[in-house]
Amino acid sequence: MPNSDPEPAPKKELVTAYLKKVKTKVDACIFDFLPTTHEHPDIQELYQMILDYPQRAGKGLRPALCLLLCEVFGGDPKRAVNTAAALELLQNWLLIHDDIEDGSELRRGEPCLHQKHGIPMAINVGDALHCKMWEMLYRNTEILGENLSLKILSEFIQLSNQVVEGQHIELSWVHNNQWDIDEDDYLRMCIQKTAWYTCITPCRLGAIIGGATVEETDAFIEIGKSLGIAFQIQDDVLNLIGDVGRYGKEIGGDISEGKRTLVLIHLINSCNPPEANAVIEIMSHNRDEKDETEIHKVLQLMKKYNSIQYAQQCSTKFLMQAAEKFKQDFKHVPNNKAKQLFLSLIHFFVEREY
Amino acid sequence: MPNSDPEPAPKKELVTAYLKKVKTKVDACIFDFLPTTHEHPDIQELYQMILDYPQRAGKGLRPALCLLLCEVFGGDPKRAVNTAAALELLQNWLLIHDDIEDGSELRRGEPCLHQKHGIPMAINVGDALHCKMWEMLYRNTEILGENLSLKILSEFIQLSNQVVEGQHIELSWVHNNQWDIDEDDYLRMCIQKTAWYTCITPCRLGAIIGGATVEETDAFIEIGKSLGIAFQIQDDVLNLIGDVGRYGKEIGGDISEGKRTLVLIHLINSCNPPEANAVIEIMSHNRDEKDETEIHKVLQLMKKYNSIQYAQQCSTKFLMQAAEKFKQDFKHVPNNKAKQLFLSLIHFFVEREY
């Protein structure tokens, strides 16, 4: 870690142990809530399909951010578990629909839901889980009272609008076969599609439940933007050089799917025009028309022009921005365990290998 | 009308005039709420896609039920407009996803959204509209206060669970190529997939906002089930014998899509075994493999065995059940204009030609 990080960062083991602890609590909440049996066999089948993605091993980063921030502001993280679980349901319905939209094959090491049951059923399962998310948020009225529950609903509404807009931007690029995308376009899409639901809202929710002021809560918009960008770039990098067993998606899947990533944008801007044309042509093919050789060729060029390395540096830069702003904005908050763990956790966003 | 209906039913013109009036109010609310412009051209494009289905001419039956019931119980229908508008948003996001799931071609006289923009974008537009529905319901806090708004949210949650379950039952039949479906199976699917969002919840919402008791509100579960079944059967009939210009979908589209309808179930149970096998074989083909001759053959058999007529009789029977139960359960409510108009409106559910 660079010198700008004065506290000795608690070990990575502390973070993984904390993630595991949170996941156990949040999973218990989710599986206690989602229905499992029904006397009608078709509805029982739907319930099993709804459980599929939540049962696959996710990292649980979003719930961890939420519970940790609640603690940072002196709240009881138990009161935030239901809201953190709703963040996981959000993540899962988004992934089901996202996997269809991108024509993906693997998710968390297993075939995507639409690969198992076809697109029509998978769309409906995503919708079912989406509805369950609002139901879970409605339960907050019992846990947090009406006023706070409505505040949290409002956060989810704001977040949902951001995600579908970010998703549309990315789908438009694919639909229009658009390649004249610069870093700013990419970063904007990242903020809307990833940063809001991965970082900004989880942090804001934890802060709100923990009793933070409006000003403190709003600080997480900027912090979460930088952190979300760092997270997404690292995700793009892992998609290229990760280990399929740990990462859970096809390696190079983003190339197959024609995804615009920071790595790719750097490559197109760095290589010579014939290479750029070749890359764009390969990327524009439908995934069925792409063979291993083509994917390998793009990957080789990314390595030749240090595009992966460039993206990794950017990811670290955005992480440091987030960490610095957090330390700056929350100087007044006691430097307790939760605060230290938050800083370690966000480093994990970039250091993770899965 | 049979003799069991003692009041002289107000003319059909009163109903269509009322539907028009409600639609004007509800549309104004929807188009005032949905965003139209954005500085980012891709997001602006998303907003236009979100507006597409709501701008196509729907009948507005669900909002009409909601506003009318509010009036029946002495409430100010103005207070129910925002909730009625949310029912329209629900209808529209469901239709966008439903049209993809069924592989439909036309909706309200125009190509389905996924036919215009592809499946990935259409899924996301449906999700965007779905999120907007919850946002619209959140606005009720300003109009109706926190307590009543939460009650209404709870109604939408209950309803959503019913719809996705009913949808899954129907999708399972198609996915498993299942044809041993009896009337009870069909009616159950109808209640979950159609009756809840078309009748039960719109009536309940109007009643709740109008100030009805829990007992009065709950009476609309049974009334709405019968009414919803009557509505769906009439929809199935119009799909076979309607006028494409007024009905807005392909005539015979349900046959192309292999839909299980009451008409089809009656046909399979009435015709001889070789005919039944031929019908099932045609119905099992993918829509691309079906030609006009095959669709015509099924339609001819439906006419030969009076299956369409049978369905029309069933539809009327369920309508009469709904009307009788309404009159019985709400004897104590003054026989005002709204109450009379409600009875005329539900007759329209079956008498309509579009």
Number of H helices, E strands in chain A: 18, 2
Distance from C-alpha of B84 to C-alpha of B52, rounded to nearest angstrom: 19
The mean per-residue pLDDT over the stretch A316-332 comes to 96
Among the listed residues A198, A61, A128, the one whose alpha carbon sits nearest the alpha carbon of residue B166 = A128
Interface probe, candidates B39, B90, B140, B165, chain A, greatest A C-beta count within 10 A: B165
Instruction: Say how many CB pairs under 8 Å bridge A and B.
Output: 139
Split at pLDDT 50, 70, 90, the class of A242 is confident
- List C-alpha distances in Å: A260 to A232, A283, B346, B351: 12, 9, 52, 53
pLDDT in tens, A148-162: 999 999 999 999 999
The mean per-residue pLDDT over the stretch A17-38 comes to 96
Mean pLDDT (chain A) is 93
Tokens of A258: 């024609």
B116 contacts B107 by C-beta, under 8 angstroms: no
Q: In the prediction, which pLDDT does A247 show?
A: 67
Q: In the prediction, which pLDDT does B139 show?
A: 97
Which residues, in sequence order, are CB contacts of B83 under 8 Å at separation 6+? B66, B137, B140, B152, B205, B209
Split at pLDDT 50, 70, 90, the class of A257 is confident
Distance from C-alpha of B33 to C-alpha of B47, rounded to nearest angstrom: 12
- List C-alpha distances in Å: B321 to A61, B15, B65, B223, B317: 53, 20, 17, 8, 6
**Is it the case that residue A8 has pLDDT exceeding 70?**
no
User: Which residues from chain A sit within 8 angstroms of residue B161, using beta carbons?
Assistant: 128, 131-132, 135
**Is it the case that residue A349 has pLDDT exceeding 90?**
no
The mean per-residue pLDDT over the stretch A223-227 comes to 98
pLDDT in tens, chain B (354 residues): 444 444 554 568 899 999 999 999 999 999 999 999 999 999 999 999 999 999 997 889 999 999 999 999 999 999 999 999 999 999 999 999 999 999 999 998 899 999 999 999 999 999 999 999 999 999 999 999 999 999 999 999 999 999 999 999 999 999 999 999 999 999 999 999 999 999 999 999 999 999 999 999 999 999 999 999 999 999 999 989 877 677 677 778 888 888 999 999 999 999 999 999 999 999 998 878 888 899 999 999 999 999 999 999 999 999 999 999 999 999 999 998 999 999 999 998 888 877
User: Which residues from chain B sit within 8 angstroms of residue A188, using beta carbons?
Assistant: 40
Handedness of CA B68, B70, B71, B77 (dihedral sign): negative
User: Which residues from chain A sit within 8 angstroms of residue B201, using beta carbons?
Assistant: none
User: Which residues from chain A sit within 8 angstroms of residue B160, using beta carbons?
Assistant: 131, 134-135
Split at pLDDT 50, 70, 90, the class of A101 is very high
The mean per-residue pLDDT over the stretch A21-30 comes to 97
A9 shares contact with chain B (CB less than 8 Å): no
Tokens of B112: 């389905």
Which of B100, B154, B157 is nearest residue A131 as measured by Cβ atoms?
B157
**Is it the case that residue A244 has pLDDT exceeding 80?**
no
Among A4-8, A80-84, B253-257, where is mean pLDDT lowest?
A: A4-8
Distance from C-alpha of B248 to C-alpha of B235, rounded to nearest angstrom: 12
Split at pLDDT 50, 70, 90, the class of A301 is very high
A143 shares contact with chain B (CB less than 8 Å): no
Interface contact B97-A164, CB threshold 8 A? no
Q: In the prediction, which pLDDT does A1 show?
A: 41
- List C-alpha distances in Å: B224 to B320, B321, B347: 12, 10, 13
B335 shares contact with chain A (CB less than 8 Å): no
A130 shares contact with chain B (CB less than 8 Å): yes
B46 shares contact with chain A (CB less than 8 Å): yes
Distance from C-alpha of B115 to C-alpha of B111, rounded to nearest angstrom: 6
pTM, rounded to two decimals: 0.93
3-state class percentages of chain A: helix first, strand second, coil last, to nearest 5: 75, 0, 20
Among the listed residues B163, B170, B97, B174, the one whose alpha carbon sits nearest the alpha carbon of residue B128 = B97
Q: In the prediction, which pLDDT does B291 show?
A: 85
Q: In the prediction, which pLDDT does B247 show?
A: 67
